[in-house]
Amino acid sequence: MSLAVIAAGLALGLAAIGAGIGNGLVVGRTIEGIARQPEMRGMLQTQMFIGLALVEALPVIALVFGMIFYFTK
């Protein structure tokens, strides 16, 4: 049981770190793009939100795997 708790914690922790780094990169590059070409703001923001949704899927998937690790014997 203790290894399952460690595995679940590692899965969620690493997913949170990865999502934080990914969100920072996506938003940072979007801001750079808007600073270079302000007329593309709408398109860049749309693509940013799609990218953020894809990056945020990682912690949700990790949560599912963490629950599987924790609740299976």
pLDDT value at 56 more than 70: yes
pLDDT greater than 70 at residue 41: yes
Confidence of residue 16 (pLDDT cuts 50, 70, 90): very high
**Pairwise CA distance, residues 19 & 41, whole Å:** 23
pLDDT tops 90 at residue 11: no
Give the HSE-up count for residue 9: Cα atoms under 13 Å, Cβ half-sphere: 6
